[in-house]
Amino acid sequence: MNPSPSRRDWLKNAIGLAPLALGASLLAPPVRHAAGLSLTPTSPLNALNKASGWLNGPPVEPGDLRGKVVLLVVWTYSCVNSLRVLPYLRAWQERYGGRGLAVIGVHSPEFGFEKDAGNVSRALRELDVGFPVALDSRWRVWEALDNNAWPAFYFIGADGRVRGRAIGEGGYDRSERLIQALLSDVDGRPAPDQMTPVVGLGPEAAPDFANLRTPETYLGYDKAPAFPGGIHQDERRLYRTAPPMRVGGWSLTGLWTVGAESALSAAPGASIAYRFHARDLHMVLAPAADGRPARYRIRIDGEPPGEDHGVDADAAGLGVVTSPRMYQFVRQRRPITDRTFEIEFLDAGARAFVFTFG
């Protein structure tokens, strides 16, 4: 079996790619941040034939797209960078769908739970994703596209040729101008003067780059950074590590089983602490393997978050892991400073995958 895209591109970055934006290091997982546009002569539409299934409608054949301008987007539903582009995709679909723009999603998973069609289908409903989505659980579409990023945009003209490719967040005006130009090639209508106004809400809000100084941090041992005392792989162990003092540091307390992809809270009271500097703090979490919800309590600098809570915790810091997805725990008000975040799982069985920031 081919390695997952996350593993393959993490290795690729480890042997010499330049540091990425948003504070990622040379050992970062797949490129998610640098925006850019480059031309390529190869059409990727035939790659859709490699999808393992479709959601939000019947399968889309390449021939169904003849004469349309296509925006093909590779994404995955628990990726914060993928979530933050959704407001633009919805807006462009609404504004230009009547002129012949077809937005097609390719859902290429990063984590095991994202391979499950039921989980993806639920996420599409919760995220208000209305465009057709090709399931790519074995990364065959990803490989056919020679893709290396979440999210990635392929702009395809009505002739079926790729006219541009954009990687990561940002550059939205340039992307929309390209969509307008491709549509004008078909119907001869001039491009509108104004860009589409877009405002992301909650976890979909644009990141606060000026205050974003913390890299995403994985908790499974395949990609976890150095950990005080070391990680005991796949063993149920009692951890008693001190809270982190440096930004980007983390620690475990209580009974945990750390696997390749995630850390499992093996008993009530298990907690994770993280020292961060960012407006927003998120975690990708999943309930117990049998689907049992897991309650949690979060604190910031030892206190309930109050007005700094995100959408997935109340002012007292309480919430429940009910489905595998990204959870937003912190949305700080200014001034933004170095803070210590702690999450305590009140029930056993929760799985923690990664911290991300915004």
Which among 224, 105, 199 has a CA at the least distance from the CA of 154?
105
For residues 151 and 167, what is the distance between their CA atoms, to the nearest angstrom? 6
Which among 120, 123, 151, 204 has a CA at the least distance from the CA of 5?
151
Host domain of residue 348: 209-357
Cα-Cα end-to-end distance for the chain = 34
Q: 17 and 122: one domain?
A: yes
Q: 165 and 289: one domain?
A: no
Q: Which of 156, 187, 204 is the last residue of a domain?
A: 204
Domain total of the chain? 2
DSSP code for 324: S
For residues 37 and 177, what is the distance between their CA atoms, to the nearest angstrom? 12
pLDDT for the residue 40? 42
pLDDT for the residue 82? 98
pLDDT for the residue 256? 98
Beta bridge partners of 255: 238
Residue 33 is which amino acid?
H
Which among 170, 176, 160, 153 has a CA at the least distance from the CA of 75?
153
| Element spanning 166, H or E | strand 162-167
Q: 261 and 173: one domain?
A: no
Domain containing residue 277: CATH number: 2.60.120.260
For residues 157 and 138, what is the distance between their CA atoms, to the nearest angstrom? 27
Q: For every one of its 358 residues, what pLDDT tens digit does the chain have, with 9 covering 90 and above?
A: 333 443 333 222 322 222 223 222 222 233 333 344 443 445 689 999 999 999 999 999 988 998 999 999 999 999 999 999 999 999 999 999 999 999 999 999 999 999 999 999 999 999 999 999 999 999 999 999 999 999 999 999 998 899 999 999 999 999 999 999 999 999 888 888 889 999 999 999 999 999 999 999 999 999 998 777 789 999 999 999 888 889 999 999 999 999 999 999 999 999 999 999 999 999 999 999 899 999 999 999 999 999 999 999 999 999 999 999 999 999 998 899 999 999 999 999 999 999 999 9
Q: 70 and 135: one domain?
A: yes
Is the whole-model pTM more than 0.95? no
- For CA atoms 9, 10, 11, 16, the dihedral sign is positive
pLDDT for the residue 140? 97
For residues 296 and 312, what is the distance between their CA atoms, to the nearest angstrom? 10
- The CB density around residue 304, as the number of other CB atoms within 10 Å, is 16
The Cα-based distances of 356 to 3, 78, 165, 216, 270 in angstroms read 23, 10, 25, 5, 20
pLDDT for the residue 17? 22
Q: 116 and 232: one domain?
A: no
pLDDT for the residue 12? 29
pLDDT for the residue 43? 62
pLDDT for the residue 244? 86
Q: Which of 204, 234, 250 is the last residue of a domain?
A: 204
Q: 41 and 160: one domain?
A: yes
For residues 271 and 251, what is the distance between their CA atoms, to the nearest angstrom? 8
Side-chain half-sphere CA neighbours of 281 within 13 A: 31
Token pair of 337 as six digits: 């400073």
Contact 239, 263 (CB under 8 A): no
pLDDT for the residue 188? 86
